[in-house]
Amino acid sequence: MKTINILGATGSVGTSTLDLVEREPDRFRVRALTANCDVDRLAAAAIRTGAELAVVADATCLPALRDALAGTGTRAAGGRQAVCEAARGADWTMGAIVGCAGLGPVMAAIEDGGTVVLANKEPLVSAGEVILAAAARSGATLLPADSEHNAIFQCLEMAHPERVRRIILTASGGPFRDWSTDAMRAVTPAQAVAHPNWSMGAKISVDSATMMNKGLELIEAARLFPVPADRIEIVLHRQSVIHSMVDYVDGSMLAQLGPSDMRVPIAHTLAWPDRMTTPMEPLDLVRIGRLDFEEADPVRFPALRLAREALDAGGARPAILNAANEIAVAAFLANRIGFLEIAAIVADTLDRFDPPPPGTLEDVLDVDAEARRLAEDLIQGSGSRVEDCVV
């Protein structure tokens, strides 16, 4: 029986993971579940699964969690350090805490060894070199839960990267893939979170709409897979049926296909190197009928260019990109800035901040904090250069 930790158990990835785990109670034993402060959902999940431990990152929510779990046998804990402690001691850990709050817990899980599944961007985008070095020291196995990276993992011969000509990341293009730049000026948060193919949280939905999500995935792919960054391409694929492809030197191209449901890649990581049954219906290729592909446009979607430039520059640039984007997306969702200003805020922050490469997790967090501060200053000053970014 495999012991399981789910960091971020009440989010979309966490609940999808729980759905799969609860379908096979004889195969998985839940050790720890964490959430920020969603006591009701966290306690309900802990009770359903018989979890040993439930943790809220916000310590002020701990009394309510203790009350909800009284008499159940599940221990309750609170605070960020408690979340890091909960990340240890399992065979398999899902890292699905949004933002840099997930860095410490993921690092704790990696240092503990075992299998760590990466569902949030920050470990590989903001702290890629630090995270990979820690995994090498502990012998931890890192598995990708993103549908794109999981598809590549399934198709790539990791032991023979010299056989690979290209990695192709597919992107749906989000809800504005056919919109002009002028039309996108008036985009509302409600429009941006209405993804045409996937059901996701607000932040990642906005990232998909700006295509920053694909830019962050580009950086992640360069960290995860032993293929030079200039051989990783992005192609629009509206149907989101092919989740990514690997092109080999002999002309063969391998693709992973599946429904637009995160339970598919999560199930692959849960059972790896085996397979497990999911509730997903098989693809009906006749009904799908066609698969379309288009070039990704870095002019209408400057986040793609910003991410490529940050990856090429290395050092602290990806961490700055990620932090500034997180602040800008939050401001957009709060109606403080316009849709096109998201990428402009990121570009301005990158222009104004160029620290030395971070060598430790603490360095990464310092870079992240300063980038967030600068981005917030730009938002408050309304000084973002939208025209410079989109031209």
pLDDT per position as a tens digit, 187-216:
999 999 987 766 677 888 999 999 999 999
Cα separation of 312 and 112, whole Å?
31
- For residue 388, give both structure tokens: 């410079």
Residue entry with tokens 């470990």: 123
Within-domain flag for 32:
yes
Q: What are phi and psi of 171, to 5 degrees?
A: -135, 135
Q: Is the dihedral of CA 367, 368, 369, 373 positive or negative?
A: positive
Instruction: Find the farthest-apart pair of alpha carbons in the chain and give their distance in angstroms, rounded.
Output: 62
Per residue in 258-278, pLDDT (tens digit) is: 998 999 999 999 999 999 999
Within-domain flag for 188:
no
- For residue 345, give both structure tokens: 């805020």
Q: What percent of the chain has pLDDT over 90?
A: 91
Q: Could you tell me if 214 and 305 are in contact, meaning their C-beta atoms sit under 8 angstroms apart? A: no
Residue entry with tokens 């403080």: 336
Cα separation of 145 and 228, whole Å?
21
The answer to whether residue 184 scores a pLDDT higher than 60 is yes
Within-domain flag for 296:
no
Q: What percent of the chain has pLDDT over 70?
A: 97
- For residue 308, give both structure tokens: 């490529």
pLDDT of residue 296: 94
Cα separation of 90 and 148, whole Å?
26
- For residue 145, give both structure tokens: 């839960």
Provide mean pLDDT across the span 304-331. Answer: 97
The answer to whether residue 172 scores a pLDDT higher than 70 is yes
pLDDT of residue 204: 85
Within-domain flag for 73:
yes
Q: Which residue range(s) make up the domain with 50?
A: 2-145
Identify the band that residue 387 occupies on the pLDDT scale cut at 50, 70 and 90: very low
Q: Tell me, what CATH number does 93's domain have?
A: 3.40.50.720
Task: Collect all residues with Cβ–Cβ distance below 8 Å to 174 and sequence separation of at least 6.
Answer: 195, 196, 208, 209, 210, 211
Within-domain flag for 95:
yes
Per residue in 53-76, pLDDT (tens digit) is: 999 999 999 999 999 999 999 999
Please tell me whether residue 167 adopts helix, strand or coil conformation.
strand
- For residue 23, give both structure tokens: 């379908």
- The count of domains in the chain is 1
pTM (2 decimals)?
0.92
pLDDT of residue 391: 33
Query: Residue type for 43, please?
Result: A
Within-domain flag for 10:
yes
Identify the band that residue 121 occupies on the pLDDT scale cut at 50, 70 and 90: confident
The answer to whether residue 218 scores a pLDDT higher than 60 is yes
Mutual angle of helices 341-352 and 302-313, in 10-degree steps: 20
The mean predicted confidence, pLDDT, of the chain is 94
Identify the band that residue 339 occupies on the pLDDT scale cut at 50, 70 and 90: very high
